[in-house]
Structure 1
Amino acid sequence: MSDIIEWVLEMEVHAGAADRIQPLIDEMVAATQADEPGALHYEYYITEDRAHVTVIERYADSAAALVHLGNFGAKFADRFFAIFAPMRFTLYGPANDELRAAVAGLDARHQARIAGFHR
């Protein structure tokens, strides 16, 4: 089995905040790509009405996910939560206790891998 950690975060966009989405997301994507080699997959999706956004993230392991969360907290959290209201956070893979604790405030659901493969 692999150590890969994945999560899906589904969010509502706060009323009147839609115009602030793209600049923040562009900044976050650039920073994650430049500063976090353990970030393997980091993509945002938005509904046509710009009312809901989903982010799908994959990290090499719990340590890489914790690096991301540390950077997020230091650089982006205040602006992020001024735009988005988390609705559902699902954490996949062998997350260690530190990672589980770090995302507990998002009412994270955890699902352990029981079978499969990746290439």
Structure 2
Amino acid sequence: MSNHVYWIIEADVKDGKLDELKSLMVEMSEATKADEPGALNYEWSLSEDEKVCHIFERYTDSDATMVHMGNFGSKFAGRFMGVLKPTACTLYGDPDERVQKAMKPMGYVPMKSAAGFSR
């Protein structure tokens, strides 16, 4: 087991916002890769019809997660919510109380680690 914190967010792409979303996801991915060494995975996926977006994020621990949450809040949250309507969020791993509080607006479903490994 590890101290990793990770989640999958499912969101609907708002009508007429696909091009803006595509630009934003590239910008956010590049910023996260450049500025957040504790980000282990940061992956966006679109459904075939490009109406649904899944975002998979994984961080080394709660401290790294909170760095991301701070950057997201100060740089991207408004634009993110302008192009996507989150419909589900599943939170995995070992998030501390700070992470749980920060993720609360997403209405996450918590899933505690039960078995397995991470490399």
- What TM-score do you get using the length of structure 2 for normalisation? 0.97
Residue identity matched to 1:115: A
Name the counterpart of 1:24.
Answer: 24
Secondary structure at the residue paired with 1:72? Answer: helix
Secondary structure at the residue paired with 1:33? Answer: helix
Aligned residues: 119
Secondary structure at the residue paired with 1:56? Answer: strand
User: Could you tell me how far apart the structure 2 residues matched to 1:30 and 1:73 are?
Assistant: 16
Matched, 1:13 2:52: no
How far did residue 19 of structure 1 move? 1.4
User: Could you tell me how far apart the structure 2 residues matched to 1:26 and 1:38 are?
Assistant: 19
Residue identity matched to 1:26: V
Name the counterpart of 1:55.
Answer: 55
Name the counterpart of 1:90.
Answer: 90
- What TM-score do you get using the length of structure 1 for normalisation? 0.97
Residue identity matched to 1:87: T
Q: CA RMSD in A?
A: 0.7
User: Could you tell me how far apart the structure 2 residues matched to 1:118 and 1:14 are?
Assistant: 35
How far did residue 50 of structure 1 move? 1.1
Secondary structure at the residue paired with 2:68? Answer: helix
How far did residue 22 of structure 1 move? 1.2
How far did residue 21 of structure 1 move? 1.3
Unaligned runs of 5+ in 2: none
Poorly superposed stretches of 4+, deviation over 2 Å: none
- Identical pairs, percent: 42
User: Could you tell me how far apart the structure 1 residues matched to 2:7 and 2:103 are?
Assistant: 10
How far did residue 28 of structure 1 move? 0.2
Q: 1:62-77 alignment to 2 at 5 Å? A: 62-77=62-77
How far did residue 115 of structure 1 move? 0.7
Matched, 1:34 2:8: no
User: Could you tell me how far apart the structure 2 residues matched to 1:109 and 1:68 are?
Assistant: 20
Matched, 1:109 2:114: no
How far did residue 63 of structure 1 move? 0.8
How far did residue 18 of structure 1 move? 1.0
How far did residue 75 of structure 1 move? 0.4
User: Could you tell me how far apart the structure 2 residues matched to 1:78 and 1:94 are?
Assistant: 27
